[in-house]
Structure 1
Amino acid sequence: MRSKLFVPGGRPELFAKALAGPADALSFDLEDSVPADAKARARDDVAAFVASPAMRRAAKLAIVRVNAPGSAWFEDDLRAVMVPGLALLNVPKLESADAVRAVVAAVERIESSGGHEAPAGLLVNVETPRGLEQAAAMAAAHPRVAGLQLGLADLFEPHGIDRGDAAAVHAAMFAVKMAAAVAGVFAVDAAFAAIDDADGYRAEARMSRRLGFIGKSCIHPRQVALANEVFAPSPEEVAYARRVVAAATEAARAGHGAFSLEGRMIDLPFVKRAEALLASLG
């Protein structure tokens, strides 16, 4: 999931266009982009499109960001969007493992009522100071948690933190990646509001890739190509990973757990990284 494109749930005329584009994942938004008086219609439109033959045939992940637990729309969102084809249920404003487990309980209540298909997993937003503090606990709260998604606007803006401070961005990214690593789930990077600032988007994306994030959110189609470019392994990286795996195989045959390759000492953590990169190629 190099690129995850947010699609406003209240704009059904954009759904097919987004599906035809190059984003790896489509994240249909029922939260911030949809006003209160349009949420019921948006919910129905999104559910119908996610379950449509076109969406299910596409080689894309279908994600729906529902309204926050405790809101007037949360339960109705769940009942509507738990349809065949939904890959990830994106849940905002969570701040504890108990809150994650409460979402799971709500999902299971709907499942037990019949007629609903369970989502493949939960994508938990980390977008508040308390959420950042509890990120590792949330990642490990339940097997349904597939990944953590960083939300820098919500995390920074209310508290006067400068998004232009690379050290602050790095600190938040590192914390979320380490929290995801505790539970063995993925981390996906935040959206970037400056649509015309390709260099700024690229810089954040490169930072998050160096920190082990799998991809970055996009709020405009023009950002998708940037994310795909940054998070695609280069031919040199792929070739080196293949050399590492091949050398590790030879070393294992010789009974060695560590070996030297091109002037560098290689052991199991480096082999695992190379294997993961090659596995990501499909």
Structure 2
Amino acid sequence: MRSKLFVPGVRPELFAKALAGDADALSFDLEDSVPVEAKDMARGAVVQCLRSEAARVSGKILIVRSNALDSAHGEADLLSLAGTGVDMVNLPKVERVDEVLAAVALLERAESMQGVGQPIRLLLTIETPCGLRRAAQLASAHPRVAGLQLGLADLFEPLGIDRRDPANLHAALFELRVAAGMAGVFACDGAFADLRDDAAFRVEALMARRLGYIGKSCIHPRQVPLANDVFRASADEIARARRIVEAADRAAAEGRAAFVVDGQMIDPPFVKRAQAMLASVRETDGGSNKPLS
């Protein structure tokens, strides 16, 4: 999931173009981009799109960013999604384990009523100081949690933290990535609002990739190729990963757990990373990122 494009639920005229575009994942938004008076309309439009043949054959990871559960619309959002083919629900501003469990209970209820066997997973957006401090606990709250997403605007702006300072950016990205690692889930970078500054978007994306994030959120289609490029494994990286995996197979046959590749001592953590990279490349080349869901 190198790129995750937000698609406003209130703009159904954009759905077909997004489904045919280059983003690995689409996040249909029912929250911030939808005015209160249009919430019901947007929900209906998104559900109709998710049930369409175009969505089914798109090969994309399909996500819906719901309204918060303590809002007037969060419960209706979750109850509407069972049986639509959606892969994940993106819960905004999560701070407490009971919020995660309440979302799980709603999804279980809806899936039971619809007779759905494939459970909808959860992507938790961490965008408050409290949420960041509890991120590992939140990510471990239930097996349905697939990943954590960082919301830097909501996290930094109220606190007066300068997002353009690399030290500040690194601190937040690192903390969330470690929390995701503790829970065994993926970490996805958040959106970057300045559509004119491709260089700054790339700086954030590169830092996230070096910290082990799987991709970056995009708020406009023009950002999608930037994210895809940054999070695409290079030919040299793929070749090295193959050398490591092949050497690991030979070493295992000889009863060795450690060996040398390109002058570097390699043991199981390096092998696991190489295997994960090759698996990700196969998924992208095959046109489907569905294993994340």
Q: Same fold (TM over 0.5)?
A: yes
With over 3 angstroms needed to count, the CA separation of the structure-2 counterparts of 1:230 and 1:25, relative to structure 1, is same
Matched AA of 2:48: A
Contact 1:89–1:119 (8 Å) recurs in 2: no
* Cα separation, 2, equivalents of 1:114 and 1:55: 19
SS in 1 for 2:80: helix
Aligned to 2:285: none
Matched AA of 1:139: A
* Cα separation, 1, equivalents of 2:119 and 2:251: 42
SS in 1 for 2:256: coil
C-alpha deviation, 1:200, in angstroms = 0.5
How large is the RMSD of aligned CA atoms in angstroms? Answer: 1.2
1:33-48 matched pairs, under 5 angstroms: 33-48=33-48
C-alpha deviation, 1:46, in angstroms = 0.5
1:1-282 matched pairs, under 5 angstroms: 1-114=1-114, 119-282=119-282
Note the alpha carbon deviations across 1:154-206, whole angstroms, 9 max, x for none: 11111111110111111111111111111111110010001111110111101
Would you identify which runs of 4 or more consecutive aligned residues in structure 1 move more than 6 Å? Answer: none
Contact 2:30–2:43 (8 Å) recurs in 1: yes
Contact 1:258–1:266 (8 Å) recurs in 2: yes
SS in 1 for 2:162: coil
Note the alpha carbon deviations across 1:102-132, whole angstroms, 9 max, x for none: 1111222333444667653000111100000
* Cα separation, 1, equivalents of 2:88 and 2:273: 25
With over 3 angstroms needed to count, the CA separation of the structure-2 counterparts of 1:114 and 1:83, relative to structure 1, is closer
Contact 1:189–1:208 (8 Å) recurs in 2: yes
Matched AA of 1:110: A
Structure 1: runs of 5 or more not aligned:
none
Matched AA of 2:213: F
Matched AA of 2:170: H
Aligned to 2:286: none
Matched AA of 2:100: V
With over 3 angstroms needed to count, the CA separation of the structure-2 counterparts of 1:177 and 1:191, relative to structure 1, is same
* Cα separation, 1, equivalents of 2:112 and 2:29: 25
Structure 2: runs of 5 or more not aligned:
283-293
Aligned length: 282
Q: TM-score, normalised by structure 1?
A: 0.97
Matched AA of 2:148: L
Q: TM-score, normalised by structure 2?
A: 0.93
